[in-house]
Amino acid sequence: MKNSAEIWNVVDEKRKPYIELSDRIWGMPELNFHEVRSAAEHAAQLEREGFRVETGVGGLPTAVMGEAGEGGPVIAILGEYDALPELSQEAGVAEHRPLPGQGAGHGCGHNLLGAGAMLAAAAVKDWLAARGMKGRVRYYGCPAEEGGAGKAFMVKEGAFKDVDIAISWHPAAFASVTEPVSLANTTIDFEFTGRSSHAAAAPHLGRSALDAIELMNVGVNYMREHMPSDARIHYAYLDAGGIAPNVVQGKAKVRYVVRAPEVAEVHALLARVGRIAEGAALMTETSVTSKVVSAMSNLLANLPLEDAMQRNFDRLGPPPFDAEDMAFARQMQATVTRQDVETAFRRAGLPVTDVPLCTTIAPKSAPGPKMMGSTDVGDVSWAVPTVQARGATYTIGTPGHSWQLTAHGKSPLAHKGMVHVAKAMAGVAVDVLSDSALLEQAKADFRERLERSPYTPLLPDDAKPAFDMC
Ligand SMILES: [Zn+2]
């Protein structure tokens, strides 16, 4: 109890440069693996704090790491700073107003995610130093969460191999422990090669790669009826073979994302999708090659750490939103549907109310529909005991990856939610550092889960980060 009050004070005292860091990152939205300026800003702040800084972590040029302290357990706090395409938006206004000349925007709140995680790490650093205690805290700035699976590559390169526990968070409508439910996924490109020809003069000489993709998609769409109902498959054309209808398309490329609750199910579905691609190639007399672009595992639970996080949240209470925050949130809520709002309450396991911001900590293991997305924190959770929080940084009902989410990014309410969740994360870190029994319980829970189901990474051994993706 004493520990938590002290560490929360340290977080409060240190918050200003981190709110500024978050706002600067909001203003320089950069996509998957192109987060050059954002990573440099994070490295510079780590230097100012006196962390020992490493760049290019895990072979990723835009990954950074700062470490402080000596000996003892290693606590990793993970942040992100990548943005999303097409989500540029003016800050603090409740209408869709993209910024001129800027396509990308922080529509997932990763500007807050990185700065809030580093704030927690910096507070733990000062707390350790003030006590002269053994223990190390690290901030990991992890690139390309939005499709590049940055952390999965960092795990593959051993970036977390001497870490004892990992803590992270994500912006959300409600403050809560993140339930360890996410979908494992693989992003894979299929490239078909046929033979180009004049579509009118010599159609019989052409073999269409575009036909092959269309037949493949039909095959996969028929497969949907015969796959687990909680699996997901999506596709997008990367190259439809050109824009001339009178040329038989000699090359074409499609990107598939295959998701399922367990890694083994993704492996099985990928094999089926691959056979359908081969069938399409057979039907069209084309050939097909495939390449995994990125892959993420599902999240592995860790009960002792989740309970520690819940205790911190329960003691903290909800973020200190004021009347102005509520007024802004009411304006933002008017831009979404009633259904968006009700779904958000249901997902958090809370009764629907008219209050537009989080005023209570959402219960752990709430009944109701679970998250059906994916996160590359999944792979970290199979490498070290991991726990995540949700920080209340936006209006209840705000859709993920939306202009509304970008619009919240520099608001006072987002700053409050970020500082609040930094306290919960720093609280868990000091609980683990000052209670060796908790650390042992977290490790035992992790070992038991891995014994029951060993880690089989979805990334092939020869997979390389897709630095050219955006
Ligand atoms: Zn995100």
How many A from CA of 115 to the centre of ligand 1? 14
Read out DSSP for 205-270?
G-B-HHHHHHHHHHHHHHHGGGS-TT-EEEEEEEE-S-S-TTB--SEEEEEEEEEESSHHHHHHHH
The yes-or-no verdict on residue 244 having pLDDT over 70 is yes
The yes-or-no verdict on residue 386 having pLDDT over 80 is yes
The yes-or-no verdict on residue 19 having pLDDT over 70 is yes
How many A from CA of 106 to the centre of ligand 1? 9
Read out DSSP for 16-40?
HHHHHHHHHHHTS---TT--HHHHH
CA distances from 317 to 144, 287, 363, 380 (A): 32, 59, 12, 28
Question: What are the residue ranges of helices labelled H in 93-208?
Answer: 110-131, 150-156
How many A from CA of 132 to the centre of ligand 1? 36
Q: What is the pLDDT of residue 43?
A: 98
How many A from CA of 398 to the centre of ligand 1? 13
Confidence of residue 2 (pLDDT cuts 50, 70, 90): low
How many A from CA of 223 to the centre of ligand 1? 30
Strand 184-193 vs strand 74-80: parallel, antiparallel, or unpaired?
Answer: unpaired
Confidence of residue 326 (pLDDT cuts 50, 70, 90): very high
How many A from CA of 163 to the centre of ligand 1? 23
pLDDT digits (tens, 9 = 90+) for 201-223: 999 999 999 999 999 999 999 99
How many A from CA of 391 to the centre of ligand 1? 12
Token look-up 């003691």 returns: 315
Q: What is the pLDDT of residue 151?
A: 96
Confidence of residue 306 (pLDDT cuts 50, 70, 90): very high
Q: Are 228 and 260 in contact (CB under 8 A)?
A: yes
How many A from CA of 331 to the centre of ligand 1? 23
How many A from CA of 379 to the centre of ligand 1? 15
How many A from CA of 84 to the centre of ligand 1? 9
Q: What is the pLDDT of residue 98?
A: 96
How many A from CA of 145 to the centre of ligand 1? 7
How many A from CA of 219 to the centre of ligand 1? 31
How many A from CA of 171 to the centre of ligand 1? 7
C-alpha span between 58 and 142 (Å, rounded): 10
How many A from CA of 363 to the centre of ligand 1? 22
Whole-number average pLDDT of the chain: 95
DSSP-assigned letter for residue 398: P
How many A from CA of 371 to the centre of ligand 1? 13
E strand map for 347-435: 386-392
Q: Are 329 and 94 in contact (CB under 8 A)?
A: no
How many A from CA of 61 to the centre of ligand 1? 20
How many A from CA of 98 to the centre of ligand 1? 20
pLDDT digits (tens, 9 = 90+) for 98-111: 999 889 999 999 99
Q: What is the pLDDT of residue 44?
A: 98
Contacts of residue 134, defined as CB under 8 A and 6 or more positions apart, other chains included, come to 69, 70, 71, 72
Which comes out higher in pLDDT, residue 64 or 453?
A: 64
Q: What is the pLDDT of residue 362?
A: 86
The yes-or-no verdict on residue 307 having pLDDT over 60 is yes
The helix/strand count (H/E) of the chain reads as: 13, 11
How many A from CA of 195 to the centre of ligand 1? 41
DSSP-assigned letter for residue 394: S
How many A from CA of 26 to the centre of ligand 1? 14
The percent of residues above 90 in pLDDT, for the chain, comes to 89
How many A from CA of 172 to the centre of ligand 1? 9
pLDDT digits (tens, 9 = 90+) for 141-189: 999 998 899 999 999 999 999 999 999 999 999 999 998 888 999 999 9
Both tokens of residue 200? Answer: 């009118």
Q: What is the pLDDT of residue 368?
A: 58
How many A from CA of 346 to the centre of ligand 1? 20
How many A from CA of 296 to the centre of ligand 1? 14
How many A from CA of 197 to the centre of ligand 1? 44
Q: Are 255 and 236 in contact (CB under 8 A)?
A: yes
pTM: 0.92
How many A from CA of 107 to the centre of ligand 1? 8
Instruction: Say which range, 34-43, 206-215, 342-351, 434-443, has the weakest mean pLDDT.
Output: 342-351
Q: Are 372 and 183 in contact (CB under 8 A)?
A: yes
pLDDT digits (tens, 9 = 90+) for 366-377: 665 566 778 899
How many A from CA of 85 to the centre of ligand 1? 13
CA 329-333-339 angle, 5° bins: 145
How many A from CA of 143 to the centre of ligand 1? 11
- Mean of pLDDT values over 247-251: 98
How many A from CA of 19 to the centre of ligand 1? 18
Q: What is the pLDDT of residue 370?
A: 63
Q: Are 69 and 136 in contact (CB under 8 A)?
A: yes
